[in-house]
Structure formats: structure tokens, C-alpha cells
Chains A and B, each alone.
Chain A
Amino acid sequence: MKIAIRRKAKPRAGIEDEYRTSLREYVAGGGEPALGRAYELGRRALTEQKSLVEMASLHHQAVLSLVCGTESEKRREKLLRSSGEFFAECLSPYEMAHRGFQDAVKALRQLNETLEEEIKRIAYAVHDEAGQLLVAVHLALAEVTPELPEPQQVQVARIKELLNQVEKHLRRYSHELRPTILDDLGWIPAIRFLAEGISKRAALPIHIDASVSERLPGAIETTLYRIVQEALTNAVKHAKAGNVWIRAWRENLLLCCSIRDDGGGFDSCQAQARAGRKGLGLIAMQERVTSIGGTLRIESRPGQGTELSIRLPLEGDHANSHRTRG
């Protein structure tokens, strides 16, 4: 996963020195107290956002400086073994964090699946159940209308017209929630349908330029549709955009899609920083794209609009389906 914004953390000075000192103590027979310090150092490094790669290099440097002054091979071997034990101890907080993240990703993935199921259910309820109720209302009206005097008949006709509009809207919402077009014709037509509806409702011009037409596996098409849907919702709700441009194209074996608006934008660094609390939208989007093997880049600055870029490698089956279907 590629994120445009990188949080830079300033490590408290001295972690390298402390690591070297404690490692030296452990190698010299420092035992459990030194191992305890290794663990505390790892914990501190983690909270100071030192990366694993940085830790590996720090460890490597510390070991090098120890080994260089050691002549005896036996002693060197012992030294390397103890260094390994010390390093493992230092990494154990990272192991905890790693397991935590794995659990979180799993939970997010399950949440996405549940949401998709829920959306299907709601779309069905809106389309079929509410639709049937409307039919019943129409029938009931038809039954009473002939018995009514002329002026009321005109009123009833107006009510029928309103009901027709309600029905049209419900059908539209239901299709946008879970468009049958998505399954029947693919994600690009589904996005055109969605954009048309949002464009009308929000008086927001949405320009679509798509030079791809191949069908992709269902899960991928659903994900692409949801990302565009979320981006459009954001453009209307938060960004107060004047225009949105959606582009979809291929670069060799890469499928690219970008959604750009000229709205208010936001500080993407801040959004990432508070992502743990509020930015579930962004995280969920990232996770969804990651789950289909793609990357999502979000670029935004206050006053300069927002651009979301999805890049998805088309390999094996997807690429072949493109060739066979044109």
C-alpha cells in the first residue's frame, strides 16, 4: 500500500547509544536485566515510530562495532548468538504490534464484507418491499377514486403523480446502492449511471473519461465502484466541489483510475494523523484497494481540491480477459 503522506517522527535522542550499551552488557553476561532493557528499548522504539528496518540497521551497526574488536572465533560466535537473543527480545513489542495490525486488517475486511451484504439487503428492501407497498397504495387509490366527486379525483391524480415520483426515486436509490448494471454491464457503465444521478441531485458536473471497457472479476468491479461512490459522496458532502473529473485508463498491465475534484480539499497529513479516530473512510478505502492488490494514493491540500488515484495491476486472468474480450 502506498500512501502519499509520510508521518515523520522525531526519535528521542539516545536510543542508538542505549541499544549499544545494553547489548554490550548482555553479551558480557548481563542476563535478564539486560534482556529486560532490550524489551523496554523495543517498546520505546515502537512508540517513537522507529521502523523495523531502522531497528535492523541499528542492531547491525551495534553488532559490527562489537565484532570488529574481537579476535577469537569462538568468542565471536558466542557474541553473535547473544546478539541474536538480544535483538529478538527487542523486537518482541513489534511482534505484538504486528499481530494487532493483522487482527485489525482482518476485522476491517470482514466489516467490508458485512457492509456489502447489508447494502444488498437495503437495496432489496428499498426496491422490492417499498415498491410493493407503493403498488398497494396505487390499488387502494384506484378503488376509491371512481366514487369521489370530480375535484377530489383531480387531487387523487396529483397524489398518484407524486407516488410515481417516489417510486422512481426509490428505484434510482436502490440501483445506486447496488446497481444491477454493475453485474450486467460492468463498473464503468455503473459509474456513469451513478454519476448521472448524483450530478442531477447535487447540481455537480461530473466529467467521465474512460478508455477501458473490459470486464473484471466481480469483487474488483464492486471495489472500484465503491471507491468512486465514496469519493463522489465526499466531493458533494465535504469538499463542496464545483466539478469532478473521473478518468479510467490502462498503462500496459496497469489499470488506473483517478477521481479529482476542485473542492475545498483537506490537509491529508492531518487526516492521516487522526485516522485512528475519525478517518475510517480513508482507511477503509485504502484497505479495500489493498485487498484487491492495488494501491490508493490520496492527494489533497486545503483549497486545492482532492485527487484519488487507484492503480491496479492486471495480471493473469484479468489481463487475459482483456485480450480475449478486446
Chain B
Amino acid sequence: MSVGEIQVAIKSDQDIVSARQKGRLMASEMGFSSGDATLIATAISELARNIVSYAHKGQITLKMVNGTNRQGISVIATDNGPGIPDIRQALRDGFSTSGSLGLGLPGVRRLMDEFEITSQPGRGTTVAVKKWRQ
């Protein structure tokens, strides 16, 4: 684990709160506005929620990242759950109840600047997102 990297095990709703708190703290220490910190906490919530609902356990890794001229925060959610058979469908609005309101994975994608997802059925899912400081 490198400096500035935090891992939070996700098993329950309390863990979601803990991941939110650490993400928010890291974001505000990095100089993100409180509005952006709120959006980052929201993205963390959605990702952690997915872990609890579908994989039951997993982890969230928070990291400071450096771009060419900017700094950002990276949030990686990993689990060894059932995986997503059709990623494109999962990213489409309206796929799930929450998705029809733009929540869930499609919502996370819109809150963050970068979004990457890999998933293998039966092996698990990794969602990696980044937000750059404005």
C-alpha cells in the first residue's frame, strides 16, 4: 500500500459510512470544494451500495493520483461477487429501478470524470473512477 492510499473493507451499511467519511476527508484535504467532496461521497456510496447488495462483501480503495497538471482522487471498488454478465446493459439508464432515475452505475459515471469497469461473471467486478480537482 503506497502513501496516500486507504482501503476500506465493505460488508455492511456502517462500512459504507466509513468509506464515505474517508473519501470525504481525503477530498477536502486535497482541496476539493465541499460540493465536489459531497459528489465524491455520493459516488462512493453508490459503489459501496452495489457491493453490499450484489456481492455482499468487497473493498473500496481511495487514492490520491497525479495527472500532468492536476491532482485527483481515485476510487476503486472491487468485489469477488457474481459479476455483471452484460456491462453495457448495466451502464444504461433504466436497466434497474435506481438506474431509471439516473442513479447507480450510470449516475456514478456522470458524477466522476473518469470511469472504468471490468467484470467477469462468477469472478467479480472492479469499478475504478477518478475525479480531478477543478
Contacts and interface: CB of A to CB of B under 8 A. Distances in A.
15 contacts: A32-B18, A36-B17, A39-B41, A39-B45, A46-B101, A47-B101, A92-B41, A92-B42, A96-B42, A96-B103, A97-B101, A100-B93, A100-B101, A100-B107, A103-B110
A32 B17 CA distance: 6
A99 B102 contact: yes
A320 B45 CA distance: 53
Given A33-B17, A88-B34, A104-B93, A39 B101 contact: no
A294 interface: no
Interface string B7-19: 0000001101110
Contacts of A103: 93, 110
> Which of B21, B110, B111 has most A Cβ within 10 Å?
B110
Contacts, number: 74
Interface residues of A, number: 24
Interface residues of B, number: 29
A68 B120 CA distance: 55
Interface of B: 13-14, 16-18, 20-21, 24, 34-35, 38-39, 41-42, 45-46, 93-94, 97-98, 100-103, 106-108, 110-111
A105 to B, nearest CB: 12
Contacts of A35: 20, 41
Main SS of the interface on chain B? helix
Contact of B39 (A33, A46, A95): A95
Interface in A24-50: 31-33, 35-36, 39, 43, 46-47
Contact of A100 (B20, B21, B42, B102): B102
Nearest to A38: B38
B101 A92 contact: no
Contacts of B97: 47
Contacts of A261: none
Nearest to A49: B101
Nearest to B42: A92
A95 B42 CA distance: 10
A209 interface: no
A223 to B, nearest CB: 25
B42 A88 contact: no
B110 A89 contact: no
Interface string A36-76: 10010001001100000000000000000000000000000
A127 B70 CA distance: 56
